[in-house]
Structure 1
Amino acid sequence: MGQVPSAPQINESEIDVEALRAKYAQERRRRLREDGAAQYRKAAGEFGYYAKDPYTPFAARAPLADRVEALVIGGGFGGLLTGANLRKAGVESIRMLDEAGDFGGTWYWNRYPGIHCDIESYVYMPLLEEVGYMPTRRYAPGEEIRQHAVAIAKKFDLYADTAFHTRVTSLTWDEECSEWIIETDRNDKMRAKFVITSSGTLTQPKLPGIEGIENFKGHTFHTSRWDYDYTAGDANGGLTGLGDKRVAVIGTGATGLQAIPHVAENAKHTFVFQRTPSTVDIRANRDTDPHWAASLEPGWQKKRQDNFLDIISGEDFDEDLIQDGWTTVPQLQRAMITGKIDESLSAEERERAEELLDFAKLNQIRSRVDEIVEDPQAAEKLKPWYRYMCKRPGFSDTYLQSFNRKNVTLVDTAEYGGVTRMTESTIVVGDTEYEVDCVIFATGFDVGVSGVLSGTMPVYGRGGLPLLHAWAQGPKTLHGFQSHRYPNLFHLGALQNANSVNFVHILQEQAEHLSAIIQAGRSAGVSIIEPSVEEQEEWTRTIHGSAIDNSKFQLECTPGYYNNEGKARPNLNSFGPGPVAFAKLLKQWRENELEAYIARHIEVNA
């Protein structure tokens, strides 16, 4: 399977800093588009069929008009971890709600061939010890992860009162009854004392806004709704239905890296349309060693998760338990993931050292392209020319090898900002037409846009005030989870708190925190929990005072979803010291301030 990715050796005499800076800037300019993120269109309206559920039949049911104590919106890992922790806190009346037909979140929707996690599964898959499960591989396949989500739901009895294939259309606070009214697209008008939103940001597929896309007469689908009726096979490959088909894959991000090798292996001909190449480092996946698994002591997963987070966040650590592509170059992630920094160096010295390491790492990755890809012209097109964290790093031991196949054509669309247009039977790039039978869109999702923030799930608090109006000048929360005038409403996500590449770990910390607040309130007999104006203003000042503005770095990156397609804006809604420091802050708050926080609500509720 190859060796684990290694940290590059920096030899300044071999790094032409000015030449690389110029090359990066040139490649960025080639890909900039005036329309930025507007180049994509939603999978809605006439394209709504791209977002429909192909896995679970829709079942009619009567509208719900009942009450539950806690309603959790979202059936991905965030929602599941919330439900599990609420169960541990003694909450019996829980309703889980999701637009999908079952639990799993992004792992429910994404079932394309080759799908695996890119974070080590022993760290990524939560509650392994509680469920009593050990992943079969270091980087588990998608179906195994989905089944683990189902196992969590069964373990904590979260199927008992679910509402699948259900989308919330509004949340309204009922002042008289002190509860939330939840309306949905199934004509439900249910009520709940507590509402927790974890609707995720990797479920709504997006499509490129290609001229003429609606005119194509061949077959099309999005990778998040893979059409195995057309391709045959399953997530392990065997796409024999493509044997006589000319297939186009548009998109070469994390999904493309995994799916394209299987399409290339089976299709008559595969055209890969690439705007920007991904970094492709060694994956080196392997089966779980049963002797290693048997040697683990209770508490092993939290220890491993904390070790990974410490390394990624720049904290001190005695041993790297993971030793993979993420932990070998954690310094390079400082540009995108805030955390502890080396105070012994000046800002200029840190920036210089990180840039040199970045150049060395990308030189290593570009050299790997030359080592694997036999066609020099294809190899040049596959080389990434940007800083390491301009895009989410990629890992694969089969993707680059696909371009050595005679039935694979790489089409570089950089000069045109993507595919130019589509006709009834072709994809056009510049003046060149490519006849294809099928188009697969590996174009990702509307990232960072939850229903609350997009307005598709409007929230009305005390006095009917819309949440987005209250946040018109920016979010105002306590620790990112609660807002004044919106009692008993909790949000999971990355807003006004801290983030990391293993977001499931972040969600786990958040779910534990929120359930502790709810448990404390229930124990004290408090019916309404909300922060004061002063509490949320103090936290907002803390966030703004600690946030690290990385927009300069992002504006120098090649366009992508990390930097709003080249139009990055300052992000002042993240806790600068990072996720480890944030977790410690929350723990100290629970130990020292939660009791007083709840006590204040006893007086208010009286």
Structure 2
Amino acid sequence: MATADGGVAVLDPALRQKYIEERNKRLRPEGITQFLKLADSTQFKYLQEDPWVDHAAFNAKPPPVSDGDDIKFLVMGAGYGGLLFAVRLIEVGFRAADIRLIDDAGGFGGTWYWNRYPGLMCDVESYIYMPLLEETGYMPRFKYAYGTELREHADRIAAKWELTGKTLFRSRCHDAEWDDVAKRWILHITEHRGPAEPKREIRLKAQYVYVATGILNAPHIPRLPGFDQFKGQHFHTSRWDYKITGGSDLDWTLDKLKGKTVGIIGTGATAVQAIPQLAKWAKHLYVFQRTPSSVDVRGQRPTDPDEWTNKIASTKGWQCARSENFNSQLVNAPISEDLVDDGWSHTLSYCGVIGGPGIVSPDNIPEHIAKLHEYDLPRAERVRRRVNEVIRDPEVAERLKPWYPAWCKRPTFHDDYLPVFNRPNVTLVDTDGHGVDALTDDALVANSTSYPIDVLVLSTGYAMHVVEGSGSLAQRAGVKVTGRDGLSMDEKWGREGAASLHGMAAHGFPNFFFPGPNQIGATANFTFALSLIASHIATTLAEAERRVDQSDRLTIEVTRAAEEAWTGEILMRSGWFAGVSGCTPGYMNMEGAAVAVQDQMKAARGAFWGEGMLSYVEVLKAWRAEGGLKGFQIDANNVDSNFS
């Protein structure tokens, strides 16, 4: 791809045209409205229920909060994000006794609590993804941890930092309003106590609120004609129904599928893991594909204890160093050794969606995109070549090849997915980008052909609310957040677009914090970002409280000038992501829908930090080293300081 004079060549015209044609096949005028909103559906209400919880056991215990309690720290979310924030608070000197967590689920783990489908594993190396390994002294069992181990580790973290008895499970906060007289957030929470008991309504006060409810928590359901008349069994992968398939989240013996024909819609990251398990047990499996995944080698293996002790975890600070090494590799920064050395660290073009060194001006966008393709082409050709090597039927192989760069859809890695399509009981139904047409009482219709099925599995992903509506944190969390002067976060972001300082706090919402995802540094390893942000906020709060005598009246709030300055920095770097708009439709570009110019500007305000995670880390370090809490106004009975 390099020219003779050392410049960057454009993508081969024939390949570029292929990418464009494949993208255009998948464009749909309805954009994101091709999916149902769960809140508006009665047929899929079951997706909001918890199939794993033991209500009787919870109801027999004393609750960790009572109506009217005044709490110092209220953390929404008990996945890795919420747990990391609580741990970082404790590490800087705050008391665990002053922290309470709430979560919809019946246990810790977030996405690893809800998702229990067969084949579930993390696609990022467990040695960098599983947080606090060094602090807990835990050695993951595999290079890529399976779901059960990830959930167990969340429990391990909660137990070590004494958070287990401080978490209100089965509960959702639906309203949070700032009381400027009391200097408290007033939160209205509903605890679901199971079908045998009435719900419990709880009103809490909290000095500080942190929202770590995640970004992929609302299952996508396609609007399919005839769904209400389908008489077969069906479920979404996010609520895998082992009563239908047999087996359990601990035992993937799907024996109830023997003699049954199964159809699965979707070939994304979840489906790539679940399809090999379905294929082992179903009489026949139809895989309905709109867009093929990019599937590279996984290389799963058990952890070698000697390698763990003598190389991986042999030095203090090893996990942070290994994570930073991974981040450096993703943005093509010079490193002496690729410590992770896997499919991710060889996907250099993924920086097209997470940012990288340098600022891309409008004039440089064509050259920038060409450079990204230069990074991507060897990987893309290797992935397509692997399809030919694995798949015996040339026609099937052709339909499994991805024709888009790695930054357009999250790449996948699996050793057993492609070989599935050599099995006689598996049929790939490629819809040539159009998707399935409809359901009848006993079949799924695609390409004007009816495929009778007994069981339908929806592997259609999640709504990425960051690209819908206001895109505000409140919208993603399903909470109405009302700050100073009665202004809601949805109203503010809906009118102006994203605005924050460092992607963690916003003007008009005192003592209210969040871990992006807008306006933060990004990496393929999201727990690194969660840990970084949790540490940054905890350190900031500790310093703010150190400056006052009466900390229970303290408020800390981003100034308007500071959030606009940070947003300006985000906009200055947003050109880096110019290649995303031309991608095949997906959650990162609002399913390819046309967007008005003013909405494009709003979306640009909510972009990641365009210079990538390495730069973002250094920006936060420099801000802390300056030591002035610049951009925050601190107010207490004995101090009123503006550090703008």
1:482 to 505, 512, 516: 505
Deviation at 1:548, TM superposition (A): 2.5
Kindly indicate whether residue 358 of structure 2 is the aligned counterpart of residue 336 of structure 1.
no
Tell me how far apart the structure 1 counterparts of residues 590 and 614 of structure 2 sit (CA, whole Å): 27
Shift of 1:350: 5.0
Q: Deviations over 1:471-523 (max 9, x none)?
A: 32112222121122211111112112211111110110000001111111222
Among 247, 253, 256, the residue aligned to 1:233 = 247
Q: Residue 286 of structure 1 aligns to which amino acid in structure 2?
A: R
Given the superposition, is the C-alpha separation of residues 549 and 596 from structure 1 closer, same or farther in structure 2, using an over 3 Å criterion? closer
In 1, distance between residues paired with 2:558 and 2:177?
A: 18
Query: In the alignment, is residue 456 of structure 1 matched against residue 468 of structure 2?
Result: no
1:486-497 residue pairs with structure 2 within 5 A?
486-497=509-520
State whether residues 198 and 493 of structure 1, in contact with CA within 8 Å, keep that contact through their aligned partners in structure 2: no
The alpha carbon displacement at 1:281 in A equals 0.6
Check conservation: 2:231, 2:442, Cα contact below 8 A: yes
Q: Does 1:421 align with 2:445?
A: no
Deviations 1:361-419 (A, max 9, x none): 2222111111111122211111111122211111111011001111111111235x211
Structure 2 counterparts to residues 189-208 of structure 1, below 5 A: 189-208=203-222
The structural deviation recorded for 1:434 is: 0.8
Corresponding residue of 2:317? 299
**Could you say if the C-alpha distance between residues 213 and 347 of structure 1 is closer, same or farther in structure 2, counting changes exceeding 3 Å?**
closer
Alignment of 1:119-158 (within 5 A): 119-158=124-163
Query: How far did residue 430 of structure 1 move?
Result: 3.3
**Closer, same or farther: CA 455–280 of 1 in aligned 2, 3 Å:** closer
Distance 1:516 1:508 in 2: 12
What does 1:5-154 correspond to in 2, within 5 Å? Answer: 17-44=12-39, 45-46=41-42, 47-58=44-55, 59=58, 64-92=67-95, 93-154=98-159
Q: Which residue number corresponds to residue 396 of structure 1?
A: 414
**1:565-604 residue CA offsets vs partner (Å, 9 max, x unmatched):** 1127453332222211111111221121345777854532
Partner of 2:283: 268
TM-score by length of 1: 0.93
**Structure 1 position 556, deviation (Å):** 2.5
Equivalent in 374, 385, 388 of residue 403 of structure 2: 385
1:571 aligns with 2:594: no
TM-score normalised according to structure 2 size: 0.87
2:555 and 2:634 in contact (8 A); partners too: no
Paired residue total: 592
- Give 1:605 shift: 7.8
Q: Which amino acid in structure 2 is aligned with residue 480 of structure 1?
A: G
Assess if the C-alpha contact under 8 Å between 1:528 and 1:605 holds in 2.
no
Q: Is the counterpart of residue 510 in structure 1 residue 533 in structure 2?
A: yes
> Where does residue 3 of structure 1 map in the other structure?
none
Confirm or deny: 8 A CA contact 1:554 1:566 kept in the other structure. no
Of 220-229 and 58-67, more deviation after overlay is shown by 58-67
* Residue 359 (structure 1) shift: 3.0
One-letter amino acid of the counterpart of residue 173, structure 1: W
* SS of residue in 2 equivalent to 1:548: helix
Aligned residues of 1:109 and 1:203 also touching (Cα < 8 A): no
CA distance in 2, matches of 1:405, 1:308: 36
Q: Structure 1 303/173 Cα, relative in aligned 2: closer, same or farther at 3 Å? A: same
For the residue of structure 1 that corresponds to 2:187, the secondary structure is strand
| Cα distance, 1:155–1:325 mapped onto 2, change above 3 Å | same
AA in 1 matched with 2:454: D
Answering whether residue 547 of structure 2 is matched by residue 524 of structure 1, we say yes
Distance 1:363 1:461, change over 3 A: same
Which residue identity does 2:110 align to in structure 1?
Answer: G
- Contact 1:32–1:566, Cα closer than 8 Å, also in 2: yes
List, as ranges, runs of 4+ consecutive aligned residues in structure 1 with deviation greater than 6 Å: 596-599
8 Å contact 1:68–1:94 — kept in the other structure? Answer: yes
Q: 1:250 aligned to 2:265?
A: yes
**Do the aligned partners of residues 21 and 596 (structure 1) sit closer, same or farther apart at CA in structure 2, a change above 3 Å counting?**
closer
Cα 1:455–1:427, aligned 2, differ >3 Å: closer, same or farther? same
SS in 1 for 2:188: strand
Counterpart Cα distance in 2 of 1:238 and 1:348: 51
Q: Secondary structure at the match of 2:558?
A: coil
Aligned position for 1:498: 521
1: CA distance, partners of 2:23 / 2:366: 24
* Unpaired stretches in structure 1, ≥5 consecutive residues: 1-7
